[in-house]
Amino acid sequence: MKKARGTTFHHICLSPSREGCTEVKYIVAGLVCTLTAVAGPVMESFPEGGRQIRVETYAPSEPGRHPAVILLHGADNFEPHAAAYRNSAEELAAHGYVALIVHYFDATGTRWADENAIANDFLTWMDAAAEAVTFASAKEDVEAARIGFAGFSLGASLALSLASQDSRIAAVADFYGTLPDLAAALLKRMPPVLILHGSADRLVPSSEAFKLQRVLEAKGVPYEMKIYPNQGHGFTGPASVDAANRALAFFDRFLRNRTP
């Protein structure tokens, strides 16, 4: 697939609710940039805990090594809006990143994560995310020192929790997630974090964003933060465009331009 220089494109991701993911929100949208040809998707997998974890990989077609972004979906799983996540990964690849959609629920056979599932399986999903970093690091077209996460809701909580322990992770974009209290208490390190949250989020209150901010400031961790007025668990309108530009600029700053 060939993208033209100067094309406007959209990253699409999900806006989950307790009843399920009922609506697709554009949160990474309106980015005007230099795009490249994309190779993929490649359907892959890696073993974890006796199961195979599926990975959908999109990559720039140019030879050489590239920064990578691992995408972690929310509690409603990947399938309800598969096209949206795949479009997001394709557009990241068009901007020069190897993008990996990790089906981390494969580690537990989960279809929908309610509160009980999250309590029981969170650490197993963290292990799957950690193995995804190992998998990405071993790829010939990935620069292992430049691997980050884009996590959404539950996926953001997993990414933040893992990044608090795993020095291989160079950046985390947190879309309306949380840093669990236990992870905050056991925090060993944290890469730069982008916090994006809606003030009207009723599923994950914006107080979670401010709590994460306090932890990062106390530890001297670089971070960027934007709370969008009147936005809920997912962004629409101008907020979606702003979140788009912030996320891509954040990855460019802390992954693409990072000094290993």
Q: Domain range holding 81? A: 8-256
For residue 63, what is the domain's CATH number?
Answer: 3.40.50.1820
User: 99 lies in a domain?
Assistant: yes
User: 76 lies in a domain?
Assistant: yes
User: 54 lies in a domain?
Assistant: yes
pLDDT in tens, 215-258: 999 999 999 999 999 999 988 889 988 887 898 899 999 999 87
User: 1 lies in a domain?
Assistant: no
Number of other residues whose CB lies within 10 A of the CB of residue 11: 26
**Which three-class secondary structure state does DSSP give residue 56?**
strand
Of 176, 168, 194, 188, nearest to 251 by C-alpha is 194
User: 64 lies in a domain?
Assistant: yes
Of 178, 221, 228, nearest to 200 by C-alpha is 228
> What pLDDT, on a 0 to 100 scale, did the predictor assign at position 156?
97
Distances (CA, A) of 98 to 16, 153, 165, 208: 25, 22, 23, 30
Rounded CA-CA distance 175/155 in Å is 9
Work out the percent of the chain whose per-residue pLDDT is above 70: 84
User: 208 lies in a domain?
Assistant: yes
pLDDT in tens, 11-63: 333 333 333 333 333 333 333 344 566 666 899 999 999 999 999 999 998 99
- Number of structural domains found in the chain: 1
Q: Which residues contact 100 (CB under 8 A, 6 or more apart)?
A: 55, 56, 57, 58, 68, 69, 70, 71, 89, 132, 135, 136
Query: C-alpha angle 221/164/90, rounded to 5°?
Result: 90
> What pLDDT, on a 0 to 100 scale, did the predictor assign at position 23?
33
User: 97 lies in a domain?
Assistant: yes
Sheet bearing 223-228, strands edge to edge:
38-48, 51-60, 98-102, 66-72, 142-152, 169-175, 193-198, 223-228
Of 24, 142, 25, 144, nearest to 93 by C-alpha is 142
pLDDT in tens, 163-209: 999 999 999 999 999 999 999 999 999 999 999 999 999 999 999 99
User: What's 159-178 look like in SS3?
Assistant: HHHHHCCCCCEEEEEEECCC
User: 3 lies in a domain?
Assistant: no
Tokens standing for residue 210: 């401010």
Sign of CA dihedral 231, 190, 129, 251: positive
- Asked whether the whole model's pTM tops 0.75, one would answer yes
Do 236 and 25 form a contact (C-beta atoms < 8 A)? Answer: yes
Per DSSP, 203 falls in state: S
